[in-house]
A and B are shown apart, each in its own frame.
Chain A
Amino acid sequence: MAINWFKYSAPTTFYGLAGKLIPWFAIPAAVLFAVGLYIGFAVAPMDAQQGEFYRIIFIHVPSSILSMFLYLIMAGYAAMGLIFNTRLSSMMATAMAPTGALFAFIALWTGALWGKPMWGAWWVWDARLTSELILLFLYLGFIALHASIDDPRRADRAAALLAIVGSVNVPIIYFSVKWWNTLHQGSTIKFTGTTMHVAMQQAMFTVLVACWLYAIAITLTRVRSIILERERHTKWITELPEVKQ
């Protein structure tokens, strides 16, 4: 039997689906986060050059990856909302922005914590660090712009433009270590392979998957509130069991 996926692009049907999906993402996220940290701290060996400080990468690298990917997905949703005028796409973009901003903040914060013992400085105006900071400002700009316009559909359109224009920053972050002479190291994991210890890879990928699942769960939870808020005048909202209580 073919599934009509377009059915779930309507807030009416997506609201219920999102509610059912949340535990399927949230519980594995918590479990994988615990497993990843166990591997990262109890199994993975100490680094020969960086000592124990390298263990920051198990949260730093997944947060950085998530901050970039979430921005691209957010911009994609915002563009879909702008082009096709689909309500749910814009709601999804709005729901993703705070989580993306938090991941960008964690990436910068943990990077600073790693930088102090390794480079001797919390912060340097390096291309990678600066472009990641711009990404955080873009997220904050998106949230602030959206919140400053009362009409939600106009807010969606204005914020979408900012998200689309700002997406040019993501490849700049990724390629900054190749294009410029940066203090920040290049990619350790490449398509051609890696020299990382297998336990380090396992810890990093487990936390990465946990972060993805967390981001999906929290976005779905937030989008349900946005749907409730925006559709509050509709009949289907008043008929929801949680509203009738």
Chain B
Amino acid sequence: MSLDIWMRENPLAYVWLGSYAVAMLVFAIEIAMVVHKRKITLQQVRLMQEAGDEE
């Protein structure tokens, strides 16, 4: 009930925090995950290469 009153009193804050902030957070998490995945994959490839060189 209190959320109902708050959203009607602060519609712009509701729209911003509820949808745009969440969407941007989702995009930021996706970007961070993709960058992390690339770092990890590169590390794995380098490790494999080093292991191959030592053999």
A contacts, CB < 8 Å to B:
37, 41, 51-53, 55-56, 59-60, 63, 98-99, 102, 105-106, 109-110, 113-114, 116-117, 214, 218, 221-222, 224-225, 228-229, 232, 237-238, 242-243, 245
Quick one: CB contact mask for B2-28 with A, threshold 8 Å, 1 for yes?
001001100110110011101100110
Q: Given A52-B15, A106-B22 in contact, is the A117-B7 Cβ separation under 8 Å?
A: yes
Contact A232 B8 (CB under 8 A): no
B53: nearest chain-A partner, CB-CB: A238
Bound complex: CA A102 to CA B23 (Å)? 9
- Distance between B24 CB and nearest chain A CB, rounded to angstroms: 9
26 CB < 8 A contacts A-B = A37-B20, A41-B12, A52-B11, A52-B15, A55-B15, A56-B19, A98-B30, A102-B30, A106-B22, A106-B23, A109-B23, A110-B18, A117-B7, A218-B34, A221-B34, A222-B37, A224-B38, A225-B38, A228-B41, A228-B45, A229-B41, A232-B48, A237-B45, A238-B45, A243-B46, A243-B49
A interface majority secondary structure: helix
Q: Given A52-B15, A222-B34 in contact, is the A117-B20 Cβ separation under 8 Å?
A: no
A228: nearest chain-B partner, CB-CB: B41
Bound complex: CA A98 to CA B27 (Å)? 11
Q: Given A222-B34, A243-B45 in contact, is the A53-B11 Cβ separation under 8 Å?
A: yes
Chain A residues with CB under 8 Å of B45's CB are 228, 232, 237-238, 243
B contacts, CB < 8 Å to A:
4, 7-8, 11-12, 14-15, 18-20, 22-23, 26-27, 30-31, 34-35, 37-38, 41-42, 44-46, 48-49
Contact B22 A109 (CB under 8 A): yes
Bound complex: CA A221 to CA B33 (Å)? 11
Q: Given A55-B15, A113-B19, A225-B38 in contact, is the A102-B26 Cβ separation under 8 Å?
A: yes
Bound complex: CA A199 to CA B35 (Å)? 35
11 new A-B contacts at CB < 8 Å, known A228-B45, A237-B45: A53-B15, A59-B23, A98-B30, A102-B27, A113-B18, A113-B19, A117-B7, A218-B34, A225-B37, A228-B38, A242-B42
Bound complex: CA A102 to CA B34 (Å)? 13
